[in-house]
Amino acid sequence: MEKVIQYNGATVTVRRGTVRSRLLSTLIYGKLNVAKDMSDADYIFMTNYASFLTQTSVKGKLGIPKPPATADEKEIRAGLEAFLEADTDFYDAILGALLEVDAPLNDPELAPDVDPKD
Protein backbone atom coordinates (compact mmCIF):
# COMPACT_ATOMS: atom_id res chain seq x y z
CA MET A 1 0.00 0.00 0.00
CA GLU A 2 1.26 3.50 -0.84
CA LYS A 3 0.14 7.05 -0.37
CA VAL A 4 1.55 10.00 -2.29
CA ILE A 5 1.63 13.48 -0.79
CA GLN A 6 2.92 16.79 -2.08
CA TYR A 7 4.98 19.08 0.11
CA ASN A 8 7.07 22.13 -0.70
CA GLY A 9 7.06 21.23 -4.39
CA ALA A 10 8.29 17.68 -3.74
CA THR A 11 6.45 14.40 -4.18
CA VAL A 12 6.71 12.07 -1.19
CA THR A 13 5.68 8.45 -1.59
CA VAL A 14 4.91 6.74 1.71
CA ARG A 15 4.99 2.94 1.65
CA ARG A 16 3.69 0.29 4.01
CA GLY A 17 6.38 -0.98 6.38
CA THR A 18 8.34 -4.05 5.36
CA VAL A 19 10.89 -6.31 6.99
CA ARG A 20 13.56 -4.20 5.26
CA SER A 21 12.18 -0.95 6.68
CA ARG A 22 11.99 -2.50 10.16
CA LEU A 23 15.60 -3.71 9.99
CA LEU A 24 16.82 -0.36 8.64
CA SER A 25 14.98 1.36 11.49
CA THR A 26 16.85 -0.88 13.92
CA LEU A 27 20.09 0.24 12.28
CA ILE A 28 19.07 3.88 12.81
CA TYR A 29 18.21 3.20 16.46
CA GLY A 30 21.70 1.84 16.96
CA LYS A 31 23.28 4.92 15.41
CA LEU A 32 21.18 7.14 17.69
CA ASN A 33 22.17 5.05 20.74
CA VAL A 34 18.76 3.84 21.80
CA ALA A 35 18.89 3.14 25.51
CA LYS A 36 16.52 1.65 28.06
CA ASP A 37 16.73 4.85 30.06
CA MET A 38 16.09 7.27 27.18
CA SER A 39 13.20 9.68 27.62
CA ASP A 40 9.83 8.92 26.07
CA ALA A 41 10.16 12.08 23.98
CA ASP A 42 13.54 11.04 22.55
CA TYR A 43 12.18 7.58 21.77
CA ILE A 44 9.18 9.03 19.93
CA PHE A 45 11.40 11.45 17.99
CA MET A 46 13.66 8.61 16.94
CA THR A 47 10.96 6.10 15.96
CA ASN A 48 8.95 8.59 13.92
CA TYR A 49 12.09 9.84 12.16
CA ALA A 50 13.19 6.26 11.42
CA SER A 51 9.78 5.53 9.87
CA PHE A 52 10.10 8.68 7.74
CA LEU A 53 13.56 7.64 6.54
CA THR A 54 12.76 4.00 5.84
CA GLN A 55 9.21 4.18 4.48
CA THR A 56 9.36 7.18 2.16
CA SER A 57 10.93 8.18 -1.10
CA VAL A 58 11.18 11.77 -2.28
CA LYS A 59 11.22 13.25 -5.78
CA GLY A 60 12.19 16.91 -5.87
CA LYS A 61 13.53 19.24 -3.21
CA LEU A 62 11.80 18.57 0.08
CA GLY A 63 13.74 21.19 2.01
CA ILE A 64 14.52 18.65 4.74
CA PRO A 65 17.55 16.37 4.47
CA LYS A 66 16.71 12.69 4.11
CA PRO A 67 19.92 10.73 4.56
CA PRO A 68 19.99 7.02 3.81
CA ALA A 69 19.61 4.74 6.83
CA THR A 70 23.20 3.65 6.20
CA ALA A 71 24.56 7.19 6.70
CA ASP A 72 26.90 7.86 9.60
CA GLU A 73 25.68 8.98 13.02
CA LYS A 74 26.48 12.65 12.41
CA GLU A 75 24.38 12.78 9.23
CA ILE A 76 21.50 10.86 10.83
CA ARG A 77 21.49 13.23 13.84
CA ALA A 78 21.59 16.32 11.60
CA GLY A 79 18.65 14.93 9.64
CA LEU A 80 16.74 14.22 12.85
CA GLU A 81 17.26 17.79 14.05
CA ALA A 82 16.01 19.17 10.70
CA PHE A 83 13.02 16.80 10.85
CA LEU A 84 12.14 18.04 14.35
CA GLU A 85 12.30 21.66 13.17
CA ALA A 86 10.10 21.03 10.11
CA ASP A 87 6.70 22.65 9.76
CA THR A 88 3.87 20.83 11.53
CA ASP A 89 1.91 20.63 8.26
CA PHE A 90 4.72 18.45 6.91
CA TYR A 91 4.71 16.24 9.99
CA ASP A 92 0.91 15.91 10.01
CA ALA A 93 0.92 14.87 6.35
CA ILE A 94 3.72 12.32 6.85
CA LEU A 95 2.26 10.91 10.07
CA GLY A 96 -1.22 10.64 8.55
CA ALA A 97 0.16 8.83 5.51
CA LEU A 98 2.24 6.45 7.66
CA LEU A 99 -0.78 5.61 9.81
CA GLU A 100 -2.88 5.01 6.71
CA VAL A 101 -0.43 2.74 4.90
CA ASP A 102 0.44 0.82 8.06
CA ALA A 103 -3.17 0.24 9.12
CA PRO A 104 -3.84 -3.42 9.93
CA LEU A 105 -4.75 -5.44 6.87
CA ASN A 106 -8.43 -6.33 6.76
CA ASP A 107 -9.15 -3.77 9.47
CA PRO A 108 -12.93 -3.89 10.12
CA GLU A 109 -12.83 -0.10 10.53
CA LEU A 110 -11.90 0.17 6.84
CA ALA A 111 -14.55 -2.24 5.54
CA PRO A 112 -17.58 -0.79 3.82
CA ASP A 113 -20.86 -0.87 5.69
CA VAL A 114 -22.96 -3.76 4.46
CA ASP A 115 -26.52 -4.42 5.50
CA PRO A 116 -27.00 -8.04 6.56
CA LYS A 117 -29.40 -10.05 4.41
CA ASP A 118 -32.61 -11.15 6.03
So where are the chain's domains?
Answer: 2-105
Provide the pLDDT for residue 114. 67
More confident residue, 54 or 34: 54
pLDDT for 100 equals: 94
How far apart are alpha carbons 51 and 46 in whole angstroms?
9
* Predicted structure pTM score: 0.84
Mean pLDDT of 86-104: 94
Q: Compute the distance between CA of residue 57 and CA of residue 3 in angstroms, rounded to an integer.
A: 11
Integer Cα distance of 115 and 88 in angstroms: 40
Pairing mode, if any, of strands 56-59 and 2-7?
A: unpaired
